[in-house]
Amino acid sequence: MKQTAIMNRRWLGSLAALCLLACSCAKDSTTEEDLTLKFKGKIANLQATTNTGGGLSTTWSNLDDIGIFMVDHNTTNITEQHENRQYSYDGTAFSPVAGHEIYYPVSDTKVDFLAYYPYTNDASLESAFPIDVSKQHNLAAIDVLWAKSNNSNAGFSKTTGLDVPLVFDHKLAKLVIGTVAGEGLDSEDLSWKKMAVQIAGMYTKNNLDLTTGQLGQSSAPAVIVPFVQQEGRKYEAIILPADFTSAGAVSFNFTIGTDTYVWKSGANESFEAGKQYNYSITINKTEVTLDKITIQDWTTVSRTGIAN
């Protein structure tokens, strides 16, 4: 009987240990899933770029992807290898692509977050993020956004919650050209609707420091063909911020049939990050007139002029 009791106690002890192990594994699995961070993405200037139709909209689109770095609080040191994690918008928040999950440090160490859009798989805090706006067929792919979140400089940890706010800033500017048929031209004519529009003199290349959100020195001025938002009426481009002191440094060229009409900028033309510049251009047979310019955040600026 004594031996049987000992064996029973051993068996019960083993069973209890197995139960504890099973419970522990279940708890660990649940904890890992529950502790996955999600990010609430917001654009400071609400004209958020999305992938809809190659143009711009006011909200994120499903499957818009951002890159996120978790860093030690008030540093740029990567925390626990959470570098350039890919998060995708699901209609409500940004959730991790499989294998890119971010978790808070178990030690409850304070951390900050750096994020950017659009996501690329080779982005790093150790090298500049390249920007090239020479191709405008997909505006969403070149509208660079950046965010830093540090919980009002208090840092984040597992005690601060799992939904982390990210407020993105537009690092580039937006140019919108509205065209109006003036004297001697007909907006219903096929040659008008098929006009070729070019922007000359703008810079096309730069780099973004992902640790600070600062742009470098722009380079490579070239002719840009804007995105056709509406034939004969509206043309849009994402452009690099820049100041042009000389008159005529930037020009808009409109080719209608075999004729080309040109509007040239005045002196001290400038374009700021996060602002939208709306140009209303009337094209006459004899000249091109700038009617107005408006600026707004993705702010809009309006300007008018004449193309000769």
Which range is least confidently modeled, 107-116, 156-165, 255-264? Answer: 156-165
Quick one: pLDDT at residue 34?
A: 52
- Band (49; pLDDT cuts 50, 70, 90): very low
Q: Which residue has the higher pLDDT, 225 or 20?
A: 225
Query: Which CATH number describes the domain made up of 37-170?
Result: 2.60.40.2620
Question: How does 259-274 read in b/e, with b if 16+ C-beta sit within 10 Å?
Answer: eebbbbbeeebebbbb
Q: What is the DSSP letter of 139?
A: G
Residue 61 has pLDDT above 90, yes or no: no
Q: Which residue has the higher pLDDT, 56 or 287?
A: 287
* CATH 2.60.40.2630 segments of the chain: 173-306
Mean pLDDT of the chain: 83
Helix residue ranges, H only, the chain: 2-34, 190-193
Q: What percent of the chain has pLDDT over 90?
A: 65
User: Do the beta carbons of residue 202 and residue 221 sit within 8 Å?
Assistant: yes
Look at residue 53 and give its three-state secondary structure: helix
Provide mean pLDDT across the span 244-269.
96
**Statement: the pTM of the whole predicted model exceeds 0.75:** yes
User: Do the beta carbons of residue 176 and residue 278 sit within 8 Å?
Assistant: yes
Q: From residue 173, give the alpha-carbon distance in Å to each of 12, 66, 182.
A: 71, 19, 28
> Which of 54-68, 155-169, 220-234, 293-307 holds the top average pLDDT?
220-234
Quick one: pLDDT at residue 162?
A: 83
User: Do the beta carbons of residue 198 and residue 300 sit within 8 Å?
Assistant: no
Quick one: pLDDT at residue 153?
A: 95
Provide mean pLDDT across the span 103-114.
93
pLDDT tens digits for 178-230? 999 999 999 999 999 999 999 999 999 999 999 999 999 999 999 999 999 99
pLDDT tens digits for 263-299? 999 999 999 999 999 999 999 999 899 988 888 877 5
* CATH 2.60.40.2620 segments of the chain: 37-170
Q: What percent of the chain has pLDDT over 70?
A: 79
Query: 173-306 adopts what CATH topology?
Result: Immunoglobulin-like (2.60.40)
Quick one: pLDDT at residue 47?
A: 36
- Band (129; pLDDT cuts 50, 70, 90): very high
Question: Which residue in the block uniquely carries the two structure tokens 């770095």?
Answer: 69
- Band (89; pLDDT cuts 50, 70, 90): confident
- Band (69; pLDDT cuts 50, 70, 90): very high
